[in-house]
Amino acid sequence: MKKFLLPENGNFYKANLHCHTNLSDGYLSPEQVKEHYKSKGYSVVAYTDHDILIPHDDLNDEDFLALHGFEMEINEPKDAPFNFIKTCHICFIGLEPDNILQPLWHRSAYQFSNAVNYKHLVKFDENEPDYVRHYGHEGISDIMQKARAKGFFVTYNHPAWSKERYPDYIGYKGMHAMEMFNGGCIRSGYDDYNFAAYDDFLCSGNKIFCIGADDNHNHCPLDSRYDDSGWAFTVIKAESLDYRTITKALENGDFYASEGPEIYDLWIEDDKIHIKTSPVDSICINYEHRASQRIMNDDFSPVTEANLVYRPDYGYFRITLIDKNGKHACTNAYFPE
């Protein structure tokens, strides 16, 4: 009997789940972001400007869905220039289309760049006191858990750019996912392909997902190689391009992260993991146990499918595709249960 790890039925939707516009520190308007991403084949963009949750439902059409969210930054309390301190960045995406109250709001602090000019548009619970941010395991976990309880999909962002290492991030509890790829940081030269950090979280008991996202600001010409759109993305499989259908797919892990390669089918049958993909150079599987497997051809011809060993006693597994240009696609981790 087949057990599908990506849903058997539905459509694939290309998504950017971390995006900035000129409402905070990006260069493009929300409308320009929509058109730019639609031209690159995207169907979903989560608008996550810094510190302000502003819905963009007016941008929705039959081919495009705007998810509402925001990004929060929590900085190390250190008397030093910003480039010398650690910081933690977290994105929050509302799971319900009408969930537009921003949690963890502070009436007079934290907004920067253009966000200060749009804070009057933010809706929040006026009965709650100003939320003060604290850097560290306890403070950041509190943020993640409170936002999650308020109905937000929580992602931990770009640990390499943030200068966070294992002792810093391993105590964070409450995220749904972390960025396997942050395209904007990779474009800038940071090593934000974060497979090691993902395994750190998994091995410490955090059953979380991994996403790909651009974190685009679009400071560079859109027709140049330096444009930070389209470097990394999340492919969501869902029945329709409806807000709650898409966010339920996020909650269920019905997606994969990519820099380019595509996954068409993924299922378990007869003690084998079966995967069908776009043409890639190799397909790799890694387990929680010290075991792995790589499928590739001696003549360097493309690989488009593989049958991989399924061993529940090996713990979780995750699969990585690598194309001829060194671009990756990564599944979420799947656990025996």
Q: What is the pLDDT of residue 337?
A: 82
CA neighbor of 153 nearest in space, from 230, 88, 208, 232: 208
CA neighbor of 92 nearest in space, from 27, 161, 17: 17
Mean pLDDT computed over every residue of the chain: 97
Q: What is the pLDDT of residue 193?
A: 98
Q: What is the pLDDT of residue 174?
A: 98
CA neighbor of 306 nearest in space, from 258, 254, 261, 253: 261
- pLDDT tens for 106-127 read 999 999 899 999 999 999 999 9
Our CA angle for 204, 316, 233, nearest 5°, is 90
Residues 6+ apart with CB under 8 A from 270: none
Q: What is the pLDDT of residue 75?
A: 97
Q: What is the pLDDT of residue 122?
A: 98
- pLDDT tens for 138-157 read 999 999 999 999 999 999 99
172: amino acid identity, one letter: Y
In tens digits, what is the pLDDT along the chain, a chain of 337 residues?
899 999 999 999 999 999 999 999 999 999 999 999 999 999 999 999 999 999 999 999 999 999 999 999 999 999 999 999 999 999 999 999 999 999 999 999 999 899 999 999 999 999 999 999 999 999 999 999 999 999 999 999 999 999 999 999 999 999 999 999 999 999 999 999 999 999 999 999 999 999 999 999 999 999 999 999 999 999 999 999 999 999 999 999 999 999 999 999 999 999 999 999 999 999 999 999 999 999 999 999 999 999 999 999 999 999 999 999 999 999 999 999 8
Q: What is the pTM of this model?
A: 0.97
Structure tokens at 318: 């995750």
Residues 6+ apart with CB under 8 A from 314: 287, 288, 289, 291
- pLDDT tens for 157-213 read 999 999 999 999 999 999 999 999 999 999 999 999 999 999 999 999 999 999 999
